[in-house]
Structure 1
Amino acid sequence: MRMLLLCILCYMYVVEVATSTNCPEYVFRRIPLNVSITHNLFTADKGLTVKECGQKCIGTTSCASFSYLQGHVSQCYLFTRRVRLGLDQTVQPGPVTYWLLQETCPSDYTYNATNNICYKAYFDSTDLMSWAEAMNRCEEDGGYLYMANTTEKFNLIKSLNVPSRVEAYMGCTRHRGVKVTWKCLDGSDFVGEWYPGEPSSTIEDCVAIIYGNLIGALDVNCLGLRRFICEIPVRFP
């Protein structure tokens, strides 16, 4: 059951806390992405506070994230999926966005306390998928492709025990603007060690990690069939 206690987490900075005599659960995480998204929007309301918007998301079974636009008349947007980079969007800066955190880790995922995430490596020979297919699979689990957006998180997957040469998709892609940047799903920068000679192409837009004699990141064709790593953000293990 979803709790009606709300504590919005901005990278360990609490901006809204529901009244409670107990230590409240962290329920949401604010993400860096600040563009207006139209994909998977299922309801919009005006005149709510950010806390009321979050409470509305918690009380709606199908809500996975919400965006809040402060202005003369505030706007609250609820989404059936986590809002992320690459979905249909407008180009102008938009509302701040919060992802709903899962309550617990699935039994077949591993919890990492440093990053407060669960993760799972899909490394079997039957797990070969395109980037989009892998993303859908992770979403079915309640998460998304693994985001290497800190040195600690990249080192975590570098340390996985992989018996043979494997390439695995991550949740980061190339973005073209005034200059080329590599971004993860939440709008944060990709932080990882490129394999020697990488990135090596102007048309390979997805990021994968390669395990072999050396371990590092590759730019790869998003349609190629590869293994992948999923991540689920959680409140508690």
Structure 2
Amino acid sequence: MQGLEHITVLGVFFQSVGCEQIWKRDVRFDDKVFLSESNVKSKPLYVLSVMSCGRLCKKNGTSPAFSHIEDKCYCYSNRTDGQSFTFLEGAQYYFLSDDYFFLSDEKNCKDHNYQYLSEIRVCYKDYNDSKIWQDANKKCRSDGGHLIMLDTVGKLSVFQNIIPKNVYYWVGLEDMDQDGTWIWTKSTSKDFDRKLWFPGEPNGNEFCGMVQYLPSDPRAGIFDLICDSPSRFICEM
């Protein structure tokens, strides 16, 4: 559906046995505050961050959605579909998802000396040594994982802010058949979204995917590279 973008951003506000429910963005309801009397639980709360807004809305009772802008937080007593609203440019809308994040994921990550990114629920390891793509893929497999699958703009943006500048990193994307069909090694049935290419890519006889952060052009995107070029790599578990 056009205009719908679900991005996992928060993972701590509803706790059950061994798991936590998570908040997600729904940009269809951005730039609005839903002001019907039955929907707004109270006047805006004043908060330091979107995470504080989520915590407060859950703390104040059953609140399955909220809007946040700057230091203001609007807690809703129900989902906003069909409710009246007023425009408030810059407001961001979040809802409590039926997805669950299992608390054991983070422990399992640490047990394997990997790092955990809760905002995108990714367990990863940045390897400093350089390998060709095939050997990097084998190393990740030996860990029980795979080369990282950056299959959304949100994931790409997060990792672009983590990796060093002007350094190549292999990801789990390849076209080994050289037929123009790019596949993720983690999930070969998942179609590759060509909008994830960096502008101008792919651009030659290069059949393995990589990412890098270019200070001169910080847009997030995937590049193609010759598979036998030694590069650093990121594994995901």
**TM-score band, normalised by shorter chain:** 0.3 to 0.5
TM-score, L = length of structure 2: 0.47
Give the structure with the larger helix fraction: 2
Higher RCO (CA < 8 A, seq sep 6+): 1
